[in-house]
Amino acid sequence: MYTGEIISLIVAVSWTITAICFEYAGKRIGALTLNIVRLLMAIVMLAISLKLTTGHIAPWDAGQDAWMWLILSGAVGYVFGDFCLFNSYLLIGSRFGQLFMTLAPPTAAIAGYVFLGEKMGTYAIIGMLVCIVGIGFSIIGKSGENSHKVGIQLPLKGVLYGIGAGVGQGLGLVLSKIGMNCYLDYNPPATSLEEFMLPFEATQIRAFAGVVGFLIILLCRGEIRKLISSFSDKSAMVTSASGTFFGPFVGVSLSLMAVQYTNAGVASTLMALTPIIILLPSKLIFKEVITFRQVLGAVISVAGVALFFV
């Protein structure tokens, strides 16, 4: 009883662990280097799981159109979206970084309308507005203790990175859906297990694109030595591996499992609780000051996500 709901909550906790691990690792080796490291780790983990379940280490038979759309999705979701997300972790912390990720559902809804012709209901539109209000409520306040002026309480650059992260994630998700649809049209899965593993295969293609994209940026910056030296930082490697395991690997797996046991809307809403769950760990681990306004803003944003599934 309540199996799907319990799994969904575990996913939210898993993504909380991922965010905290990546914030810590990012502060040690940098956001760009961390992205390459964790995507390489994800590719290996996915290759092992695909080999054990489908017999191959990568979806070479996905078809040209599927590869094209999924590579584009990786460029948007990983190279742009995750680059913004990890930099937001460094500037405003994983707590606020995850809060801005509630912009992903509204972005996905708009992109789905534009690219796939998916309709947006009244609740979805209201949900978008509620998400934005919740984020605004969390980051806006008095600009000084004795001032009546109202302003953003976070670095503007960090806020822009957070917005970019949410937008990149939502748009990347829709592009992934197009790519998976192309995969199904070109090479329909022969078994239920192959169908179940399709999102993992799509994730791996996106990860390939992400690694290439980040390597190009790294080479252009002349920071390849920084990447090589990062592997000697045992603490960063352990937390990067932990974040990768709980995020792209366990998190994705359990999220797919959750929707098998409960309504997709219920599962998605519970999995979106990360901005709330992360509040206590952020206070305990990073000694961050958490105000009532910030907590209420996170709750409002998650409520906005919930409206998408009413």
pLDDT band per the 50, 70, 90 thresholds, residue 243: very high
What is the C-alpha separation between 226 and 301, in angstroms, rounded?
Answer: 37
Q: Which helix (H) or strand (E) holds 151?
A: strand 150-152
Query: How many domains in the chain?
Result: 1
Whether the CB-CB separation of 113 and 119 falls below 8 Å is answered with: yes
* Domain carrying residue 207: 3-307
For the chain, percent of residues with pLDDT exceeding 90: 50
pLDDT band per the 50, 70, 90 thresholds, residue 260: low
Residue 43: CA count within 13 A, CB half-sphere: 17
Residue 262 has pLDDT above 70, yes or no: yes
Q: 161 burial class (0-12, 13-18, 19+ CB within 10 angstroms)?
A: buried
Q: Tens digit of pLDDT for each residue in 173-196?
A: 899 889 989 999 998 888 888 888
What's this model's pTM, rounded to 2 decimal places?
0.86
Whether the CB-CB separation of 103 and 131 falls below 8 Å is answered with: yes
Residue 146 has pLDDT above 80, yes or no: no
Residue 87 CB: number of other CB atoms within 10 A?
A: 23
If you average pLDDT over residues 284-298, what whole number do you get? Answer: 87
User: Of 280, 272, 264, 263, nearest to 300 (Cα)?
Assistant: 272
Q: Which helix (H) or strand (E) holds 141?
A: strand 140-142
What is the C-alpha separation between 173 and 180, in angstroms, rounded?
Answer: 10
Selected residue with higher pLDDT from 198 and 212: 212
- With a CB cutoff of 8 Å and minimum separation 6, the contacts of 248 are 38, 42, 45, 46, 203, 207
Q: Tens digit of pLDDT for each residue in 57-108?
A: 999 989 999 999 999 999 999 999 999 999 999 999 999 999 999 998 888 8
| The residue to which tokens 């290996």 are assigned | 44
| The residue to which tokens 């898993």 are assigned | 14
DSSP 150: E
CA angle at 53 for the pair 188 and 240, rounded to the nearest 5°? 110
User: Of 295, 301, 296, 300, nearest to 282 (Cα)?
Assistant: 295
- Cα-flanking dihedrals φ and ψ of residue 152, to 5°? -75, 130
Instruction: Give the pLDDT of residue 144.
Output: 54
Residue 200 has pLDDT above 90, yes or no: no
pLDDT band per the 50, 70, 90 thresholds, residue 306: confident
User: Between helices 64-74 and 198-221, what is the axis angle to 10°?
Assistant: 50
For the chain, percent of residues with pLDDT exceeding 70: 94
Instruction: Give the pLDDT of residue 142.
Output: 59
If you average pLDDT over residues 131-145, what whole number do you get? Answer: 77
